[in-house]
Amino acid sequence: GEGGRYTLSLDGETPRALGEARVGELARFAEGDIELRVAALEAPAEAEFTLVKHRRASAIRDLGDRLSVAEVGVGRGTSTGMLRLTLTGPDRDEIRRSLDAVAETFLTQNVRRQSAEIEQSLAFLEEQAPELRTQLRAAEDSLNEYRAAQHSVDLTSEAQAAIEQFVALDSQLNELEFREAELAQRYTPNHPAYQSLLRQKRHLEAERAALNARVDDLPEAQQEVVRRTRDVEVTQAIYVNVLNRLQELQVARAGTIGNVRIIDDAEVGAAPIEPRKPRIVMLATLLGGMLAMSGVAVRGLLNRGVEVPEQLEEAGLPVYATVPLSDEQKKLVRRVKHRRERQAREVVSDVLAERAPTDTASEALRGLRTSLHFAMLEGRDNRLMITGPGPGVGKSFIAVNLGAICAQAGQRVLLVDADMRKGHLHHAFGGRSDSGLSELLGGRQGLDEVIRHSRIDGLDYVARGMVPPNPSELLMTAGFSRFLDAGGERYDLVIVDTPPVLAVTDAAVIGAQCATTLLVARFQVNPLREVQLAVRRLETAGVTVKGAILNAMVRKAATRYGYGYY
């Protein structure tokens, strides 16, 4: 505000103003719950500041976390007694003020600890002095009243001696009481020093009792004067002793010094100690490199997929082609999710051999077409089954593009989607899944009704149809055999895309009716044992696997794989 005034507001869901105050004054807000003194405001009008009230415990914890104390110059078996206090923080002025305050407080508390016994004795004597002064006044008044009533009483020499002995004994007893009060602060009554004091006290009390017995033998008037005079003299002696003791202790307190000395004031370093950017960058670089290497090592340990064709060939499975991973093919893949499926799956939305005929993957499939030409010469029919150990290995991609490349070479090719559960071959041609193989085998549609023409001359396909409740049983019917026979007569090549071998038995049923079977394995996805298990399962059903296709090959040093223009 203007003129050194400010407004205090309380933040929250509904902020509210608590009142106004002036700089330099102690102001109270919220009915005294908040007290605030702003020493100075160096800011323009309408500037806003945020005040945060920390709990005492959290403030102490924060200061303790930033403060460290260490002894300086400590050697083996030696101690210098010098301490270095170090405080860290973002505010240079706050560090200096806080550290000086810590040192001053430590020094003050040390002095207070040194004078703690004196303070306790002073408190005891200051409490006793008023009571003694009152007792002295009462004793003097009592003696004067008695003398006035008796019109003066002369004391014998024996009575005077008794009074002097009373004063001496009571002074000694009073001194012992002061000493007992001091010993009680440090020892228990069983301590030898405490026991010695109690014995002295009992001895003086016995002498006092004997003196009282001697006074009892005096005349009655003199007895009363002796007792009242004794009270005055003793009380006066004790009172004077207390006053003297008070003055001595006050002088001693004023001269008390501690055994701690502040050697140097707080000094703030010129350069910041945190964050240490060069060290952070170095550590981050090393840590990043270690994490990257660890990640590669862990991935290599966990991923035991096939990486080179030699692994398949050593297992007795000839490799007909290695198809590299195509960047163009990635653009043709889209994710599709049906209502009955929990997760979306990737499907091929176009034909790579048509979109990018010069792509390296298309060139690899042309080599596969040549190899198949000679492999199928020995077969009993012109049917080719494309299968794989598990889902996601690229069976449909191989089947669609191999069919397209064979059709481009002048062959009449029929592509059959025999995966009636999750087949998605129709997406590559922009068609629908209904009116396909399941309707043909169920007798609801004829052969000419389910065969569809594609954009590529010579390439026809049969979609999977609606999902039937019994796909395996439909494949085992005579209708499926008649369909394959009819397709083999009409076309030069029939390519059948099947479900995964290890998931269902459909591939084994279909493979029994196809002369040539190729198994697709994906680079770094399918372990060699999984491929071998799929081959054994097909061989158990009487299906001979001609060879394998290593799909989605990635160019890397470990694979020793190269492709491109010669």
- Interacting residues of 547 by C-beta distance below 8 A, sequence separation 6+: 317, 318, 319, 320, 375, 518, 519
Report pLDDT digits (tens) over 392-437. 899 999 999 999 999 999 999 999 999 999 898 999 999 998 999 9
Burial 451-483 (b: 16+ CB within 10 A, else e): bbebebebbbbbbbbeebeebeebbbeeebeeb
Rg (CA), the chain: 54
Tokens 């003398």, residue located: 147
Higher pLDDT, 160 or 326: 326
Question: What type of residue is 126?
Answer: E
Of 219, 245, 229, 246, the residue nearest 145 (C-alpha): 229
Higher pLDDT, 459 or 566: 459
Of 502, 498, 562, 555, the residue nearest 524 (C-alpha): 555
Say yes or no to pLDDT of 557 above 50. Answer: no
First to last CA, the chain: 81
Q: What is the mean pLDDT of residues 523-528?
A: 90
Are residues 329 and 352 in contact, defined by beta-carbon separation less than 8 angstroms?
A: yes
Report pLDDT digits (tens) over 509-518. 999 999 999 9
pLDDT at residue 562, as a whole number: 43
Tokens 């593009």, residue located: 401
In CATH, the number for domain 307-556 is 3.40.50.300
pLDDT at residue 241, as a whole number: 79
Beta bridge partners of 346: 335
pLDDT at residue 119, as a whole number: 77
Of 160, 171, 169, 167, the residue nearest 226 (C-alpha): 160
Instruction: Give dist(CA 489, CA 493) in Å, integer.
Output: 9
Instruction: Give dist(CA 215, CA 160) in Å, integer.
Output: 11
Q: State the DSSP H helix or E strand holding residue 383, giving kind and residue range, or none if neither.
A: strand 383-387
Beta bridge partners of 17: 9
The number of angstroms, rounded, from the C-alpha of 278 to the middle of its chain's C-alpha atoms is 25
State the chain's mean pLDDT as an integer.
85
pLDDT at residue 564, as a whole number: 40
Of 531, 553, 525, the residue nearest 393 (C-alpha): 525
Cα angle: 538, vertex 542, 543; to 5 degrees: 50
DSSP 8-state code for residue 545: P
Q: Could you tell me the pLDDT band of residue 145, with boundaries at 50, 70 and 90?
A: confident
Q: State the DSSP H helix or E strand holding residue 70, giving kind and residue range, or none if neither.
A: strand 67-71
Q: 73: phi > 0 → left, psi -120 to 50 → alpha, else beta; which?
A: left
Tokens 């399962």, residue located: 537
Instruction: Look up residue 12 and give its two tokens.
Output: 């929250």
* Model confidence, pTM: 0.51
Domain boundaries along the sequence of the chain: 5-90, 116-254, 307-556
Residues across the chain: 566
* Range of 60-69, 142-151, 272-281, 330-339 with top mean pLDDT: 60-69
Instruction: Give dist(CA 239, CA 248) in Å, integer.
Output: 14
Instruction: Give dist(CA 510, CA 219) in Å, integer.
Output: 145
Calculate what percentage of the chain has a pLDDT beyond 90.
44
Of 435, 436, 434, 392, the residue nearest 417 (C-alpha): 436
Instruction: Give dist(CA 407, CA 427) in Å, integer.
Output: 19
